[in-house]
Structure 1
Amino acid sequence: MRNVGGADRTIRIVLGIALLSLFFVLPGYYKLFGLVATPLLFTGLTQRCAINQLLGRNTCRIR
Structure 2
Amino acid sequence: MSKEMTMELSLKMEENSSQIKMVNSESIPITGVTKGVELRLGEWTGKAAIKVIPLNDYDFV
- Quick check: which one's strand share is greater? 2
Q: TM-score, normalised by structure 1?
A: 0.23
Q: TM-score, normalised by structure 2?
A: 0.23
- Quick check: which one's helix share is greater? 1
Structure of higher RCO (CA pairs closer than 8 Å, 6+ residues apart): 1
